[in-house]
Structure 1
Amino acid sequence: EKENPKKILVITDGVFSMDGDIAPLDGVVKASEPYGAMIYVDDAHGEAVLGKGGRGIVSHFNLTHKQVHFEMGTFSKAFGVMGGHVSGSRDMVNYALNKSRSWLLSGSHPPATAAACIAAIDVLETEEEHVKTLWRNREYFVKGLQEMGFDTGHSQTPIIPAMCGESSKAVALSDGLFAEGILALPIVFPMVSRDKARIRNMMNSGLTIEQLDIALAAYEKVGKKVYII
């Protein structure tokens, strides 16, 4: 709406962290192109999850990095290490290296951490079965929760909320699950609105169907006990 802006930058998450829904990045790009806007996507929850072989949301929507100008990601979630990145054109990278205060005024990772990040990328590129197993587990767990009567919100990804309503309900469900040997932390106000408390389940490709069945059995037992289902 600003008159004669020098440059427009549209910023969005790739996958929204609380509900697990996917940003319509293709629509964002289409709406932005007539204005010459640049696109910046935070794909912290989409990398190693979405797209071909886990390449992220840009791949998921068959877009190019000429259409999405900045992609930010983290190595501390699906990659299981620490650190992060901002990727884009060579001009953008050179600008960031010379102008970014957080880069200029911080120390580097230890060599072992950098090596672990590289190794995690190597695994993703050469062992695509991990992403396939992640989605298999996601579909199995969501189906199990929904068949019991749990509301899984707007989830489209391995971020799977079990909606509880009031914060006290989410805390009660979390405490009950812990007593059954399941660590599932509650997300309550002010992280979400007062009536949208939930348990946020983060699916893992390393889990077996047998382990998921144990978790689902605990959800059913405790969910009935605290009157969520």
Structure 2
Amino acid sequence: MSNVLDAFLQENLQDLRDQGLYNEVDPVEGPNGAKIQVRGKELINLSSNNYLGLATNEELKRIAKEAIDKYGVGAGAVRSINGTLDLHVKLEEKLAEFKGTEAAISFQSGFNCNMAAISAVMDKNDAILSDQLNHASIIDGCRLSKAKIIAFKHSDMEDLHAKAKAAQESGLYNKVMIITDGVFSMDGDIAKLPEIVKIAKELDLITYVDDAHGSGVTGKGKGTVKHFGLEKDIDFQMGTLSKAVGVVGGYVAGKQSLIDWLKVRSRPFLFSTAVTPGDVAATTAALQMIIDSTELHDKLWENGDYLKAGLKELGFNIGASETPITPCIIGDEKLTQEFSKRLFEEGVYAKSIVFPTVQKGAGRVRNMPTAAHTKEMLDEAMSIYGKVGKELGIIK
């Protein structure tokens, strides 16, 4: 290693550790379910995005194995050559049904979707109005497009309207897009999509909703756009297949013409090997489960409401979440890290979230209850939260 690189790394790694911003990666020794094993210790898991518990579903495992036996372990090529299996076509048909759109395109990950779709439509002659708390993948996708990025205050519709009107009336841009998360993953609040659609219609703006944390969770499982009944009004519905759906990948759903364009102009579709057959088959089956029944969705919300009420009663600051995502906002980064560490020692895995994932001074432990948790697990977790919270002076 060069001396310059070594000095840079050592100095900056130590700086992160000193500030409480260095993230330790904990390998999970087994399935990522309601309980997990880390470093030989069994823990109640409150950090997974596996909202509906489908990542460990026995029927999905069986379907994935059958697909591997028939198709192999890999797709063998990029989608645009001969990596598109009939399984991928079935998945995209199911996605369009799921999201209530004409068509859909699937990608290797949710992050890939935002890198692919934004830059395929927007360019240096355009502008993008982006919520200040949008996910990192949205930010990177906007940057890649080279469009002018205009941030608006989080869920502030007056600020959005003023900036959108100024951008559209400036005459500087060919196209203007509004882009927002459907559910904001760090706070659990929901985007004001009816107001956004109203502004977009007034000013003829493109609309893009990243519903990574809404698909399977809001709208009786169909997502945040469905929650508001706006399937015909949102141009891009983007989401992941690795959170509530439980497998891996991402998608964009919308008009047939949009999907046709993305299939010839989105670079991850053109230049990355397709998602593996087992994953595609399991994903399609998982979507069908969500379409057919709200049982897991209802259990998720029941558990989320139960945990939220319990932590609030203990005295934790849980913010203004409107979804099962339940942050315990601590503030100080070092205290946040210590809180997470002590929870681990007592039997709960709840990962600390600090800058740059959230703003400095807004450190938190984010709790993600799932449909797989039992009330007994949640009661045990809350008992530990109370003990550790009082020990560290976070609650009285």
Question: What is the TM-score of this pair, normalised by structure 1?
Answer: 0.96
1:48-127 paired onto structure 2 within 5 Å: 48-51=216-219, 53-65=220-232, 67-127=233-293
Alpha-carbon distance between aligned partners in 1 of 2:365 and 2:286, rounded to the nearest angstrom: 28
- Relative contact order, higher structure (CA 8 A, sep 6+): 2
Letter of the 1:56 partner, please give it: G
Q: Distance in 2 between matches of 1:228 and 1:78?
A: 31
Among 358, 368, 377, which residue is 1:211 paired with?
377
**Distance (Å, rounded) in 2 between the aligned partners of 1:165 and 1:39:** 33
**1:127 offset after TM fit, Å?**
2.3
Q: In the alignment, which residue of structure 1 is the partner of 2:193? A: 25
Unaligned runs of 5+ in 2: 1-165
What letter is aligned with 2:231? T
Number of positions where the alignment pairs a residue of Structure 1 with one of Structure 2: 227
Equivalent residue, structure 2, for 1:189: 355
Which string of whole-angstrom CA distances, capped at 9 and with x for unpartnered residues, describes residues 116-160 of structure 1?
110110110122110001100011000000000000012111111
Pairing 1:43–2:211 present: yes
Structure of higher CA gyration radius: 2
Please tell me the residue identity of whatever aligns with 2:175.
Answer: K
Helix, strand or coil at the partner of 1:103 = helix
Q: Choose from 330, 333, 337 the match for 1:171.
A: 337
> Alpha-carbon deviation of 1:191?
2.0
Report the RMSD for the aligned CA atoms in angstroms: 1.0
Please give the alpha-carbon distance, in whole angstroms, between the structure 1 residues aligned to 2:259 and 2:231: 17
Counterpart in the other structure of 2:174: 6
1:191, 1:127 → 2: CA distance?
34
Q: CA deviation at 1:57?
A: 0.7
**1:74-130 Cα distance to aligned partner (Å, 9 max, x none):** 011111100010110000000000111111001111111100110110110122110
State the AA in 2 paired with 1:205.
A
Superposed CA deviations along residues 34-69 of structure 1, whole A, max 9, x for unmatched, are 111110000000000000x3100111112123x101
The structure richer in helix per residue is: 2
Q: Which residue is 2:145 aligned to? A: none
Task: Name the CA distance, whole Å, in 2 between partners of 1:45 and 1:191.
Answer: 16
Identity %: 43
Verify: 1:159 aligned to 2:363, yes or no. no
3-state DSSP of counterpart to 2:183 = coil
